[in-house]
Chain A
Amino acid sequence: MTGTVPGIRPDRRARIRRRRILIEAASLALGAILLIWSLIPVYNMFLVALDPTGHNEFTYDIWPSHPTLGVFADLWNADEEDVRDIWPAFGNSIFIGVMVTAFTVLISSLASFAVGRMRLARDRTLSGVALLSYAIPASTLIIPFLRIMHIYGLTDNLWAVIAAEVTFATPYAILILQYYGRLIPSEFDDAARIDGASALQVYRHIYVPLMAPALAAVGTYALLFAWNDYFYQYMLLFSERHTTVAMALEQFFDDDDAPWNYMMAIAILYSLPPIAIFYGLRRFMASGLTAGGLKG
């Protein structure tokens, strides 16, 4: 390979400039492809949701022919029979999401603090044990879960779903927190301990503020995990008042006559909270997490 030290002879300089233009054109082309790749399914959601009948698949349209926000208005007024129960479902999904986020952050940060900062055990002991949670796929464990929740008296209870989702979100959260915990020198803790701070005070006043970006990343990850889940909600909840949005969407999917525009409108609304939270916190998370991997 020849070196690329700039310009000794004019013809070579021209060659380098030509190559630079070529690279620029190639990146623009790649950018265009990535834009289409990322947005097509999102565009399709709007295409279906904005259609007044929800049946534009029958036509050859690639643009919404008669776009209308009517479905969103119907959802808001909840006056279409198919969507009457959707707001309680949103309530359930939000309750589950908030609780999963809170408990994942709390449990994983306490455990990481005890092991990583107070050195109750070796880091690898905790992460190794936590990763054993993945030794049987969560989609298989759901079947014993169903019976165990019955033993625990959590049949058809939102807390059963919360417990299950926290269980499977926590190992990855511990991994991230241990990773970033090592970026904070232990001198901070030691200084506070010499001043007579208790372990709880060190956790609250040193660990949590310094780890805030990592905790935000873990919380966002836990929220996305709860929002991605469908199986545990479907299996562990069955009464109508405990229906979540993911379950409601699946009911639309199962029903051949269901209005697809309503389904897609609900799907769009359901997508908004995690997107808003992720993009809202992105800069804050990046402030502490630009370096290193395993971002949540």
Chain B
Amino acid sequence: MSVSSKALVARAFGWPRLPRHRRSRLHGSDLAWSVAFLVPYAILFAAFVIYPMAYGLWMGSDPALYATLAGDPRYLRAAINTVLFVGVAVNVQMVLALLLSGFFARRRWWIKALLAVYILPWTLPAVPAYLSFHWMLVAYPRGLIDNLITALFGIEGPFWFNHGWLALLCDIVANIWKWMPLWTLIFLGGRMAIPPDIYDAADVDGASPYQRFVYVTAPLLGTLYVVSTLIAAIWAFGDYSPVLFVSAGTPSFESEVISTLGFHYALDFANPPLGVAAGLSVLPLLIPVVILLIQRLKAMEVQL
């Protein structure tokens, strides 16, 4: 196998496995330079990650805060909503992105053109995009979606934000709409890195499209899929904008997630420590995801 196709296989498996030299100790000016290169990030990390985190942990260290949270039905609803928001939005968009990357890998001129349009939601800034979602759903009394429902089916659309679960669903759909293109692009890149000879070999063996996916594509994209899912989950835990701008938490805090509820605690109820405590309460779910991600990246490096 030539070097380049070897690199391609390696890329398809995750981290590229190019030959590396053994690490040798740095001396003199090299050591000074490399330390100097790292200084800006070290300062940034100390000043804007470590210090705020320590400050936040200190702010949210009073156990009484968590008792207050546990007694607040708004918090309990937001906690359930957060799990649903992250679980549903992330998994749906990852599975669809994986499937759609197969569609976009087809070599047709119109599919290439469609891809350019399909990426648009990801490049659209969050606030304008979600405001548009809000305005086409909100019943003041009628938005574009209701008008379309009436035009197509002759019935009135529902009041999207009068019901907590429906409002949350709208937020989830908006999040999927915005972020699915990014993951589709990433999986498309991963598929492109799979050497075509593997598929040719599968074809010679008479593999069906389903078998090609299960025995070739899925194992080769597995690592990329897991890493992407973990990153998407981390981002979704902190994603406030769909809830803030699509459903605005209506009706009466029923579609809030923890990141937006913490914001209301801190600002509207003038209780910043309670807001911090609400945010810290997702750590038992978030920390394992971060550790898993770091481990996956480490495992990929050990393969080198």
Is A14 part of the binding interface, using a Cβ–Cβ cutoff of 8 Å?
Answer: no
Partner among B114, B138, B186, B240 whose Cβ is within 8 Å of the Cβ of A231: B240
Residues in chain B near residue A182, CB distance under 8 A: 15-16, 18
| Contact call B298/A128, Cβ cutoff below 8 A | yes
Q: When A and B form their complex, which 3 residue pairs have the shortest distance between CB atoms, in order from nearest? A: A140-B279, A3-B206, A137-B238
Is A131 part of the binding interface, using a Cβ–Cβ cutoff of 8 Å?
Answer: yes
Residues in chain B near residue A122, CB distance under 8 A: 23, 301
CB contact under 8 A between A292 and B190, given known A58-B142, A127-B297: yes
How would you classify the secondary structure of chain B's contact residues: helix, strand, loop or mixed?
helix
CB contact under 8 A between A230 and B44, given known A131-B294, A139-B259, A291-B192: no
Scan A120-145; emit 1 where CB is below 8 A from any B CB, else 0.
10111001111111111111111111
CB distance from A105 to the nearest CB of B (A): 12
Q: CA A57 – CA B135 in complex, angstroms?
A: 8
Q: CA A62 – CA B138 in complex, angstroms?
A: 15
Residues in chain B near residue A142, CB distance under 8 A: 263
Q: CA A4 – CA B205 in complex, angstroms?
A: 10
Number of interface residues of A (CB under 8 A): 111
CB distance from A199 to the nearest CB of B (A): 4
Residues in chain A near residue B7, CB distance under 8 A: 183
Is B293 part of the binding interface, using a Cβ–Cβ cutoff of 8 Å?
Answer: yes
- For chain A, residues 99 to 132, give those with C-beta under 8 angstroms from any C-beta of chain B: 106-108, 110-111, 113-115, 118-120, 122-124, 127-132
Closest chain B residue to A286 by CB distance? B189
Is B2 part of the binding interface, using a Cβ–Cβ cutoff of 8 Å?
Answer: no
CB contact under 8 A between A295 and B290, given known A1-B208, A107-B40: no
Residues in chain B near residue A128, CB distance under 8 A: 294, 297-298
Q: CA A132 – CA B260 in complex, angstroms?
A: 22
Number of interface residues of B (CB under 8 A): 120
| Contact call B123/A143, Cβ cutoff below 8 A | no
Interface residues of B (CB under 8 A from A): 7-8, 11, 15-16, 18-21, 23-24, 26, 29-31, 33-35, 37-38, 40-41, 44-45, 47-49, 51-53, 55-56, 59, 100, 103, 106, 108, 110-111, 114, 116-129, 131-136, 138, 140-145, 147-148, 150-151, 177, 181-182, 185-187, 189-190, 192-193, 203, 206-208, 210-211, 224, 227-228, 231, 234, 237-241, 244-245, 259-260, 262-263, 266, 272, 275-276, 278-280, 282-283, 286-287, 290, 293-294, 297-298, 301
| Contact call B290/A131, Cβ cutoff below 8 A | yes
